[in-house]
């Protein structure tokens, strides 16, 4: 069997590996929705919740590969970035339903 030190080291290794994989996955998902070369960038601010605000949410965000529970789960529902920016208080499970409205 393993002694206490070996168990501790194994647990720490697993925590570190999980942290690295989670951060890489999050980075890939978040960056693709917010940092494309074709994304609009605005120089000036606008009034919150105005028509201009909502238009900017659509132009400065990107959705991709949506519509199935498996795909949505793998993306952490971050593939519905436009819906998230338009309705930030909407639950993740409601994004599929709201996507056709966008």
Give tens-digit pLDDT for 23-62: 998 898 888 777 777 788 888 999 998 999 999 988 888 8
pLDDT, one tens digit per residue, over 56-92 is: 988 888 888 777 888 888 888 888 989 998 998 999 8
- In this prediction the pTM is 0.67
| pLDDT at residue 5, rounded to an integer | 96
Task: List all residues 6 or more positions away from 76 whose beta carbon is below 8 Å from its beta carbon.
Answer: 26, 29, 92
Q: Tokens 């795909």 map to which residue?
A: 71
> Is the separation of the CB atoms in 39 and 60 below 8 Å?
yes
- Return the SS3 of 80: strand
User: Helices in the chain by DSSP H: which ranges?
Assistant: 4-34, 51-59, 69-74, 81-86, 95-98
């Amino acid at each position: 069997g393993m002694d206490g030190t070996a168990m501790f080291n194994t647990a720490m290794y697993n925590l570190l590996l999980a942290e690295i994989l989670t951060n890489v996955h999050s980075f890939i998902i978040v960056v693709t929705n917010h940092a494309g070369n074709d994304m609009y960038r605005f120089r000036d601010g606008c009034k919150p919740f105005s028509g201009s605000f909502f238009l900017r949410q659509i132009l400065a965000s990107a959705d991709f590969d949506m519509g199935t529970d498996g795909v949505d789960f793998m993306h952490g529902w971050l593939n519905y970035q436009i819906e998230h920016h338009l309705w930030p208080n909407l639950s993740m499970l409601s994004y599929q339903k709201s996507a056709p409205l966008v």
